[in-house]
Amino acid sequence: MANSNFKRVFPNPMSIFKTLNFKMLVFPSRKSRLARALTIEDLRKIAKRRTPKGPFDYTDGAAESESSLDRTRNRYKSLQFVPSILRDVSKVDTSVEVLGEKFALPFGIAPTGFTRMMHAEGERAGAKAAEKFQIPFTLSTLGTSTIAEVVDAAPSGRNWFQLYMWRDREGSMRLVENAWNAGVRNLILTVDVPVAGARHRDTRNGLTIPPSLTIRTLIEAAPKVEWWWNFLTTPELRFASMSQWKGTVAELLDYMFDPSMSFEDLKWIRRQWKGTLSVKGIQNVDDAKKAAQIGVDAIVLSNHGGRQLDRAPIPLELVQQCRKLLGKNVEIHIDSGITRGSDVLAALALGADFAYIGRAYLYGLMAGGQEGVERSLEIMTNEITRTMKLLGVS
């Protein structure tokens, strides 16, 4: 053993204790739990721990093999940025103007169904968080809050409404009129649901709306006390647009979704709706062209988050083709598979005008209600700002 030239001193026990930095064992608060989440994936992990399997899988899953979702996410990961150096990025502008309005960020919250099933605060939490971050919030036809409740929660927010065209056209128009009377000025018509997709996770879980209390769910719910407490002590979970519906969820969807819907129906909606009209679910260039010719204000390139057609096209791969075809005459929006701020910027770099997040917001909601949604938006905002600076874009 080599001789050392210094004298060793046995350390003081207190100095060891201070170095190890032991802390008192405390149960984390919601605020501290959310603060430790650095990515949307971190929020997803928290959400999975705190939410029963049925509601979590409803959010997390996709159709059949789930390949549409996997391929869509992997396409974002495969892209490479080309940064520019020595640019002044001391200040960056993340704002965009779409559909005649200016928003603080280049993305909004997508329409999601059954939202209070994920967390009792539901759409109200999403709308209030969106209002705070100055981005649009979109209420779904299958939402669990009315448009009036959303507007009441976020009176200064930019609240939009998403429509599924029902077999009952008059019923559809009543929803549209209610939205207009509540101050909604952008309608998003979803067109990729002639029938519901086959989401095998939901079938295997025996998912019902509202979730039913069975021996299986009671055992599985044991560590999810907060979720069940909220579920049992807050207003009954219901479809706000179909509050009088007495049938099953499957019967409701069969009643709602119209497999006979055509471009003639899109023309009819365009004539009826006085505000801006976006068409969600465009998955090929020819359909984008037809929608533009009818006079829509925006197309939303979307494979429904992989929840409808298995092996569906990847929306990101359509952006440049649609931009070349449509020019600047129609706005190009995009959703599906977006879980990072850099995903949003990648879509914009290819030619999109705007993006939407669905699961990314719902993971935050399940992780911590409105605070969780705000954390998801904060994460996305930080990622966008940091990536812009690293790219040399201001």
Q: Any idea where the domains of the chain sit in the sequence?
A: 37-391
Q: What is the mean pLDDT of residues 240-255?
A: 68
Q: Which residue has the higher pLDDT, 174 or 30?
A: 174
Residues 111 and 190: their CA atoms lie apart, in Å, by 10
User: Residue 163 has which token pair?
Assistant: 């429509």
Q: Is 167 exposed, middle or buried (0-12, 13-18, 19+ CB in 10 A)?
A: middle
Nearest to 134 by CA among 166, 167, 111, 156: 156
Orientation angle between helical segments 319-326 and 341-350, nearest 10 degrees: 40
Active-site residue identified among 119, 200, 304, 333: 304
Q: Is the pLDDT of residue 23 over 70?
A: no
Least confident of 164-173, 208-217, 330-339: 208-217
Output the six-digit token pair for 371.
Answer: 């605070």
Q: Which residues contact 81 (CB under 8 A, 6 or more apart)?
A: 342, 345, 346, 349, 387, 391
Q: How far apart are CA 78 and CA 99, in angstroms?
A: 30
Query: What's the whole-model pTM score?
Result: 0.91
* The two structure tokens encoding residue 185: 């000025």
Mean pLDDT for the chain? 91
* Proportion of the chain above pLDDT 70, given as a percent: 89
What's the confidence (pLDDT) of residue 352? 99
Q: Residue 285 has which token pair?
A: 């260039």
Query: In 3-state terms, the chain is what percent helix, strand and coil (to 5)?
Result: 50, 10, 40
Q: What is the DSSP string of 271-294?
A: HH--SEEEEEEE-SHHHHHHHHHH
Band (pLDDT 50/70/90 cuts) for residue 111 is: very high
Contact assessment for residue 51 and residue 295, using Cβ atoms and an 8 Å cutoff = no
Q: What percent of the chain has pLDDT over 90?
A: 74
CA 20 to chain centre: 41
Q: What is the mean pLDDT of residues 122-135?
A: 99
Please say if 200 is a catalytic residue.
no
Residue (of 356, 312, 354) closest to 331 by Cα position: 354
Number of other CB atoms surrounding residue 186 within 10 Å? 24
Bridge partners (DSSP) of residue 139 are 161
**CB of 73 within 8 A of CB of 41?**
no
Residue type, 335: D
> What does the pLDDT average to over 92-118?
97
SS3 370: helix
Question: Other CB atoms closer than 10 Å to residue 294's CB: what's the count?
Answer: 17
- pLDDT over threshold 80, residue 84: yes
What pLDDT is stored for residue 305 in this prediction? 97
CB atoms within 10 A of CB 28: 10
pLDDT, position 6: 62
Per-residue pLDDT band at 247 (split at 50, 70, 90): low
Instruction: Write out the two tokens for 138.
Output: 């979109």
CATH topology of domain 37-391: TIM Barrel (3.20.20)
Instruction: Tell me what pLDDT residue 169 has.
Output: 86
Helix (H, G, I), strand (E, B) or coil at 159: strand
**Each residue's pLDDT tens digit, 149-196:** 999 999 999 999 999 998 888 888 999 999 999 999 999 999 999 988
Close Cβ partners of 169 (under 8 Å, ≥ 6 residues apart): none
> Which tokens go with 55?
């509601």
